[in-house]
Structure 1
């Protein structure tokens, strides 16, 4: 499953309870699609570069939230119910392009095998470093003992 960032720009007058309700609603929608919300950041109130006119006024600032989620690609077309949300000024879904996620034929991942692969890579890297250090030590010992290489 790809990794997405969902940016939500809310009206500055939205109370925290309504904010938590909206986050829970999006999170439940992701969960129903077998996805996972991995991170949630509140960037606070931000000044906008231009005013947004939304039914009941013109807004020059808003509350910005970032939800990072791992979900099926169909989520993009399923989040359009946010267009009718009166608490939101704008929303945007951004896909992480550099994220590589290995999965089996069914899309499931064997975490134990992933950890084994990671452990073997780390161990191989550490062993190479130790071997190089040992080789350097041997060269220094030979030069200190006064042995000639000729």
Structure 2
């Protein structure tokens, strides 16, 4: 299943409970289709570059939400019920291109060689640390201390 981002632009006056209700409905729809919901981000109220005209007026602000999900490619057609949603100004489903995950990610030779480098190396090598050099820099003569 490919990775998608669902961007939801809601009317600015929508309460948080109603906003979460809409996000939960989309999330339940994802789970019913055997998808996986990854990340939900809220960008708060954003200023729009142009007004979006709806039946109850023109909006120059909106509440922006982003939901990351793994769903089947035909999921876009299933989200068209959002067009009738009163609280939404606009919605958009964006597919992540050239993103490798799962078995595709693990089967690549380049990735395996890179992972092997991390497993064999350590953060600090004992050979690189030379304590004598550091001590010389901060040595204080005992004669100077007595003065």
Please list every run of 5 or more consecutive structure 1 residues that lacks an aligned counterpart in the other structure.
Answer: 105-113, 134-150
Question: 1:63 corresponds to which residue?
Answer: 63
Question: 2:86 corresponds to which residue?
Answer: 86
Question: 2:76 corresponds to which residue?
Answer: 76
1:100, 1:24 → 2: CA distance? 27
Please list every run of 5 or more consecutive structure 2 residues that lacks an aligned counterpart in the other structure.
Answer: 126-147
Moved >2 Å (runs of 4+): 101-104, 117-127
> Is contact 1:41–1:66 with CA below 8 Å preserved after alignment?
yes
Normalised by the size of structure 1, how large is the TM-score? 0.71
Matched positions, count: 119
Which moves more between the two structures, 93-102 or 56-65?
93-102
> Aligned to 2:97, what secondary structure does the other structure show?
coil
Normalised by the size of structure 2, how large is the TM-score? 0.72
Question: 2:2 corresponds to which residue?
Answer: 2
1:93-132 equivalences under 5 Å are: 93-103=93-103, 122-124=115-117, 127=120
Deviation for aligned residue 1:122:
2.2
Q: In structure 2, do the counterparts of structure 1 residues 48 and 124 end up closer, same or farther at CA, with 3 Å as the change threshold?
A: closer
> Aligned to 2:55, what secondary structure does the other structure show?
coil
1:17-43 deviation digits (Å, cap 9, x = unpaired): 100100000000000011111000000
Q: In structure 2, do the counterparts of structure 1 residues 54 and 123 end up closer, same or farther at CA, with 3 Å as the change threshold?
A: same
> Aligned to 2:23, what secondary structure does the other structure show?
helix
Deviation for aligned residue 1:98:
1.9
> Is contact 1:2–1:101 with CA below 8 Å preserved after alignment?
no
Question: 1:107 corresponds to which residue?
Answer: none
2:8, 2:76 → 1: CA distance? 14
Question: 1:108 corresponds to which residue?
Answer: none
1:80, 1:29 → 2: CA distance? 12
